[in-house]
């Protein structure tokens, strides 16, 4: 569960050619977002002594509408999560039942991965809910990057106390992010790599989320396929659609 929601966050990390910190973040955000997106993603949860892999398909429209279909492992195949604004439902195919989830469920990590899912429901926007400032430059994988500090606006309902984001200057790719809590302690580090052209866009296709202070632990998310801006009706994101997504 935790996983899906974070997935949304990652999917929403966002191109414009502005030069203010805010515009750079917005450019990076829209790079990964699109008006609509559909993706096939593999997610690996890695711990010291074991690892597990799952595959999901996602459909998203704007920040309000999202569907996630679990395709593997066998036991979870066909499970669907639907988000409409602040409401989230879960379709359990074995029970043929829709379960509405409490809003508090959304502040949790998803399916045991190192992603938190707050941003799925809380709707926090990396563009609107933060104040952005360029604090330096760095080089990641031979790419010149801005280092941008993001501090949440006082009224914003966000889970983080601070974000440090490294965005490639040429292609506006978010390649590295550090997530800090309200006390200023590092919580998670995200690394993006394997930059490829998918559906005509140059994007990172591999994301690693590494929790601070937990050696040998990480979650790796790899985009196998992604499509942007194909038409998706709002009616695609309904509880009835959840039931037949796997048909």
Which of 135, 139, 157, 225 touches other proteins (CB under 8 A)?
225
User: Which residue matches tokens 């997504």?
Assistant: 245
Considering only residues 58 to 77 of the shown chain, the ones binding other proteins according to CB under 8 A are 59, 73-75, 77
Q: How distant, in Å, are the alpha carbons of 173, 174, 208 from that of 195? A: 9, 11, 13
Which of 62, 97, 169, 185 touches other proteins (CB under 8 A)?
97
Which of 19, 35, 62, 103 touches other proteins (CB under 8 A)?
103
Stretch that binds other proteins, among 46-54, 123-131, 149-157, 202-210 (CB under 8 A): 46-54
Q: Is 157 in the site for other proteins (CB under 8 A)?
A: no
Of residues 86 and 153, the one with the C-beta less far from other proteins = 86
Dihedral through CA 105, CA 109, CA 110, CA 114, nearest 10? 170
Helix axes 21-33, 2-12, angle to 10 degrees: 120
Q: Is 48 in the site for other proteins (CB under 8 A)?
A: no
Give the torsion sign (CA, 68, 88, 221, 204): positive
Q: Is 105 in the site for other proteins (CB under 8 A)?
A: yes
Picking from 129, 127, 120, the residue whose alpha carbon sits closest to that of residue 60 is: 120
Distance CA 166, CA 176 (A): 5
Which residues here bind other proteins, judged by CB under 8 A? 38, 40, 45, 47, 50, 52-53, 57, 59, 73-75, 77, 86-87, 94-105, 107-109, 111-113, 225, 227, 230-236, 238-240, 244-245, 247
């Amino acid at each position: 569960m935790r996983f899906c929601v974070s997935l949304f966050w990652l999917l929403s990390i966002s191109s414009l050619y502005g030069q203010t910190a805010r515009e750079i973040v917005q450019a990076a955000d829209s790079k990964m977002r699109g008006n609509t997106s559909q993706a096939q993603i593999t997610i690996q949860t890695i711990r010291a002594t074991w690892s597990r892999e799952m595959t999901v398909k996602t459909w998203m429209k704007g920040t309000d509408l999202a569907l996630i279909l679990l395709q593997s492992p066998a036991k979870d195949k066909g499970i669907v999560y639907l988000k409409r604004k602040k409401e989230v439902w879960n379709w359990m195919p074995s029970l043929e039942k829709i379960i509405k989830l409490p809003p508090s469920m959304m502040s949790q990590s998803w399916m045991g991965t190192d992603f938190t899912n707050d941003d799925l429901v809380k709707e926090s926007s990396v563009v609107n809910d933060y104040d952005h400032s360029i604090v330096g430059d760095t080089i990641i994988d031979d790419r010149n990057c801005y280092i941008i500090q993001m501090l949440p606006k006082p009224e914003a309902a966000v889970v983080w106390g601070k974000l440090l984001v490294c965005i490639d200057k040429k292609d506006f790719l978010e390649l590295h992010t550090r997530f800090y809590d309200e006390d200023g302690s590092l919580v998670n580090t995200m690394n993006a790599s394997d930059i490829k052209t998918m559906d005509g866009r140059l994007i990172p296709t591999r994301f690693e989320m590494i929790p601070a202070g937990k050696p040998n632990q990480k979650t790796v998310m790899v985009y196998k396929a992604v499509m942007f801006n194909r038409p998706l009706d709002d009616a695609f994101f309904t509880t009835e659609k959840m039931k037949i997504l796997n048909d």
